[in-house]
Amino acid sequence: MDKVIVKYSGRVIFRQYIPKKIKRFGIKIYKLCDEAGYTCAMSVYLGKDWQSATDDMTTTHATVRHLTRRDEGLGHKLFMDNFFSSSRLFDDLDGHKINSCRTVRPNRKDMPRDFGPKKKKLKLKRGDVRVKTREGMTALFWKDRREVYMLTNMDPPPAEQNFCDDSNRPVKPHIVERYNWHMGFVNISDHMANSYSMSRRNFKWTMKLFSHLLDLTVLNSWNLLSSCGAQYTH
């Protein structure tokens, strides 16, 4: 699960700016994709939905729950970045039999105290790993060029040690490698949808969004045909 941008430079009240994306300005869409790039669910960001937020549920938490409502009880695995992540969301998904793995911001509520920036930080050297566990949930802190914080319940917690090879270069723990591999599926879907896009220059955001949805429809149709392609070989 990740967010993508439909490029649009015109005026619209919910236009977003995400500096880390290649298309920095445009309409933001939350997407849930499988490994083939099939878009299972999506939601267009039209501004914060305060009606879905409660004291125990943020707007991003509500968005994830909305997109995963059809996957409850099926034991699916969900990967997402730290924009969505929190320990409360983790527990909520786990209660609906949805396993998850995600990066997380250390200042989120209910994170281990020594992981947070306002507390006394762990003084680790590059390649070191520290782990905290709670009722099947693993909080992992890995020191690379930057500090990496993760939550997962898919894999057993790794040993607390230094993950470096013989030349003293850090080696990614298995949890980090698995996350990096699966988090690219939304980007693959977005790249495939934009490779032969039907979108044309237009000053109306509705037409831009409609063209993108049409591209996703074609891509999903192609993925469905490819998944059962063996039946059409004769």
Query: CA 50, CA 47: separation in Å to the nearest integer?
Result: 9
pLDDT tens per residue, range 124-175? 778 888 888 887 888 888 888 888 888 888 888 877 777 777 666 777 888 8
- Statement: residue 230 has pLDDT above 50: no
Contact 122, 130 (CB under 8 A): yes
Nearest to 98 by CA among 141, 125, 52, 65: 65
pLDDT tens per residue, range 46-62? 877 666 666 667 788 88
Query: CA 188, CA 171: separation in Å to the nearest integer?
Result: 25
Residue 156 is given by DSSP the state: P
User: Would you state the pLDDT for residue 206?
Assistant: 85
Instruction: Assign 198 to helix, strand or coil.
Output: coil
Q: What average pLDDT is seen over the chain?
A: 80
Burial label, 66 (beta-carbon count in 10 A; 0-12, 13-18, 19+): middle
pLDDT tens per residue, range 7-17? 887 788 888 87
- The identity of residue 122, as a single letter, is L
